[in-house]
Structure 1
């Protein structure tokens, strides 16, 4: 594949000069698509011409052509061209090459509108004007991209490799459209793992959807894997893509496979779900890592505000990372559970932040809570670092299901595959590691629960209840205790206060009040008010509050300040500066892992962990929040004791000796 990709890309040598590197892809990609279509149509040209001459309607032509060209290995063609041209024939009339190619591309059936996304007619005219059209056309005419020479899977690899090269040469986020095939195969294997026997049944029909479809690589692998299990299975592939070029490639690829081209649609998945009325058997996605959603903030928040009717009703993450929005979307697209108990499954590639970012009550925590409380998370697999072309960060595969087997209901499997990667002989971008077939099978066995002690490759697995990841954030208050003294320092703070400093005569009145310390707020306020009235100063309630807050300093020997009005009248007033929070996990101290165990669990935790150290503290029950966190790394952490001091000393002595030896050589 790398040889073929290099040969296709070598046309860049022809483009160098009249074209900047960033423009190479705009020429190479549409010509590659055209050549692939031409090679697929080659053996069916006569049947195509016959159908086109015999039938006038698009639907009639599509139906009869598909029947006419169907074979044991192919679902048949559902596209055609009314033009007699091929690249070879167009080259035979060099003076009219541009017009010939435009006629060729313009003759394709209406369902093959992908060349509009490439603005291919403009590309042809520009090549012609820059005197490069004949050379480029001749280059592609020599490449054999027939299905016998290049399979659909290999063609998908070729497209994505070309896009990777294009993005890299343009310095435009190389790799963001490219999901390494070893990652895709592992994701597909995990999603299919528990359905293998069902997929082998006669009459199997499955739908597969990718909301960030790119060039369709995940759909291709999933489709071929399913047909490897059951050659007679019927699949319907669906995808949505925001980028017009990758959308065009994916649509052409689905047409070649005999799929319905209307099943791939263009648009931003976060803004509008082009398949709003559809749910699917399998959902696969590798959304872009670490991208913000500022451009679609209004639409996302509007959908969130729709309550239970929107994909994003459970919560919205921080504006800087859209990963959890895609997670919610993927979960929403799994088909409903039917009467036989079969529902949908999904697999999504995410970075580490969705596991833990955001505290209790935040959008990310609420999203995790939605996934766990609805028992949608079946497993999370940690991949080795350096698996992707554009990033070396930690990545995870989330496997979702809305119809778990009975023995997995209410549970999540965490699988640590970080130590399984094999080093590549030559890195590609940031990708230095791949998951081999042996390691992939070991991870799938760990997921399916079929691993045993005799397995050559061991994979660490830990099973948790959903509620193991839940906790309460409990707000602990301590009483407000203040000492009040009108010292030069505190009066200076009043003078600098943005509100109090503007009250004429206040500073002079405070200077005349004296510097006697007060340990009771009510007494201080009462006597100070009398003093200020004598100086003809009548402060408003907000001004009086600002004054005692500015002068007062914390003093544990002072009287406790109490609420003077409202429902809490007579109760201790909390000191915001001493406010603290404690995270209390569900099930702490042997209490039930349940929401209704909040009061007993939190009180027991407070009595054991807080009260002995701060005896005048209390829980503010109105501020308690429920949070969810999946501390994956912590659960698989292995303690490594520090080296013995003797060993460290020996190393230091050795290094010192080497330095002294080098210094003596310099002095000599």
Structure 2
């Protein structure tokens, strides 16, 4: 739990009455952002005001401010938290002036409609008390680190959403899950990342409050303080966007790299690719309202578009983000890229052969883009206890990993939390994370309980249609005018034939031989008159994660079960005698 978050939440108690709990965030979140930026700007306030008096052109002023302060943003108002409370009658106007005079890249307060909120606070008689409370807390990064600030924002959002009976999962991802994703994402490139003065780019199309971007940067700087990670992101939730952008401003990044909007319908950074990509998209959420835009784009872009491989069902759009990330990785000709994405279990196996999801898996696997899939512990997220997985994509795999996918069962690597936060009762400790990363870097297939390394073709299969002859009332086979036997649709069946049946390593090209061998051994002995309709053979791909780690546990012996039952019966009899006595 964030101590700072608790303190800021206590300020929200002043809003009781005029404001309902689900409205607190409209006040507390923008004021927290404003106070943090205020603390950052304070040391150079007089310098910036002097420059503003000298340079009227915003572009020139921005350049001069950057030279003088090292920051890309500024505020030219004569007001700040230091003096905005001094005038008794004009607090609302003065605070609005302060918000208005930020540089153009600080657009975050527009997404809270904050100036109208200032007027509402003034009307309710609460503005002075709330501003006074915020003036008393130092939010400068030297006092409150970026990581602690991120924790505070996430705590506040979770509390507000609990009060409003809404989900917090759309806004952010638990830090322990992000740290594991970051470690896995950078693991294969750790040696390269230690180069002096290295510059890399990181992109998150579902940036939320910016937690993934922030922790990825921290990871890289811990390894190499001279490194530079340029951060890019897009977010469609107004409050989350504002928090994310303000966090990057506080870190000294170019905040224009964070864009507001829907990645699926209005993607930012078109034509640009990145060294690293990360995402925790919403899952189990339909995209019906975006379907027209997505399908139109797919048709117009053709085989090179981001959605070209296929489309998932409109009831769940997470695989659209999976395709988007694969599309945004830097191409191999420019050094290659890696991506990490958190999803639930359905993208592993949903959809029949040649359905949209199956075709997406097929494209990823046949192009050797899937590097590893890691199962996370359950009860890891704040709004769901379901099983989740990290997919790691790589378009320039290490030679040892080429043509293979590593499956890691990390579901047992967790530590119980002292207190549940929503549905989150487990966390991945530093030691838990180290064990999972070691399994990844060791790349061993010899651990049947935790790690398996499989060829890409081991996930492929054919769905074959088995036909049987149609008979008349006398039992005679019916044929058409050309003498071809008619099939009985009521007896029609399908069979699933793995690419690897019979030990085959030929993959998709071995279809005829493998399918015929399967049919001869598994079908023909039981229905001698059956045949395969080769025109209906379909190719499918699935990743049966749980099945790969399944271990048969024999049932307990009947004698042991009977003994236990007898013991329980005796206990019940003793209890009954006590009641009767």
1:335 and 1:471 map into 2 onto residues whose CA distance is: 30
Alignment of 1:179 onto 2:173: yes
What is the CA deviation profile of residues 534-560 of structure 1, one whole-angstrom value per residue up to 9, with x for unaligned ones? Answer: xxxxxxxxxxxxxxxxxxxxxxxx111
More deviation in 470-479 or 643-652? 643-652
Deviation of 1:310 (Å): 2.0
Which residue matches 1:365?
358
Aligned-partner Cα distance in 2 for 1:642–1:600 = 39
For the pair 1:392 / 2:376, whether they are aligned, the reply is no
Contact preservation (8 Å) 2:279, 2:342: yes
Pick from 436, 442, 450 the counterpart of residue 460 of structure 1.
450
Paired residue for 1:448, among 441, 444, 456?
Answer: 441
Secondary structure (helix, strand or coil) at the match of 1:90 reads coil
Tell me: CA distance 1:39–1:371, structure 2 relative to 1, closer, same or farther (3 Å): same
Deviation at 1:659, TM superposition (A): 2.4
Aligned to 2:338: 345
Shift of 1:459: 7.4
Structure 2: distance between partners of 1:404 and 1:302: 33
Query: How far did 1:285 drift?
Result: 0.4
Among candidates 382, 404, 413, match of residue 411 of structure 1: 404
Distance in 1 between residues matched to 2:497 and 2:445, nearest whole Å: 36
Aligned residue for 2:470? 480
Deviation for aligned residue 1:643? 2.0
User: Is 2:573 the partner of 1:580?
Assistant: no
3-state SS in 2 of match to 1:87:
coil
Contact kept, 8 Å, 2:449 with 2:549, in 1: the verdict is: no
**Structure with bigger gyration radius:** 1
CA contact 1:215–1:250 (8 Å) conserved in 2: yes
- Measured after TM superposition, the shift of residue 50 of structure 1 is 2.8
Aligned residues: 580
1:560 to 474, 477, 487: 477
Deviation at residue 396 of structure 1 after TM alignment: 0.4
Deviation at 1:53, TM superposition (A): 2.3
Equivalent residue in structure 2 for 1:425, among 413, 418, 426 = 418
Structure 1 unmatched ranges of 5 or more? 70-75, 484-518, 520-557
Q: CA deviation at 1:651?
A: 1.9
> Offset at 1:177?
1.0
Check if 1:279 corresponds to 2:196.
no
TM-score (norm 2): 0.97
Q: Work out whether residues 214 and 241 of structure 1, in 8 Å CA contact, stay in contact via their aligned partners in 2.
A: yes
Relative to structure 1, the CA distance from residue 310 to residue 35 in structure 2 (aligned partners, 3 Å threshold; closer, same or farther) is same
Query: Which residue pairs with 2:35 in the alignment?
Result: 35
Partners in 2 of 1:178 and 1:459 — Cα distance? Answer: 31
Deviating above 6 A after TM superposition, structure 1's stretches of 4 or more consecutive aligned residues are: 450-453
CA distance in 1, matches of 2:256, 2:321: 22
Within the alignment, does 1:649 sit opposite 2:562 as a pair?
yes
Residue 54 in 1 paired to residue 49 in 2? Answer: no
Residue of structure 1 in register with 2:123 after alignment: 129
Cα deviation per residue 1:349-386 (whole Å; 9 max; x = unaligned)?
01000001111111111000011011100000001101
Inter-partner Cα distance in structure 2 for 1:111 and 1:335: 27
Partner of 1:532: none
Contact 1:94-1:134 within 8 A present in 2 as well: no
Match of 2:106 among 90, 112, 117: 112
Distance (whole Å) between structure 2 residues aligned to residue 637 and residue 62 of structure 1: 60
SS at match of 1:427: strand
* TM-score relative to the length of structure 1: 0.84
> Which residue of structure 2 lines up, in the alignment, with residue 44 of structure 1?
44
Kindly provide the CA deviation profile for residues 622-665 of structure 1, in whole angstroms up to 9, marking residues without a partner as x: 00000001011111112222222222112211222222233333
Offset from partner CA, 1:379-414 (integer Å, 9 cap, x none): 000011011101000010000000001111110000
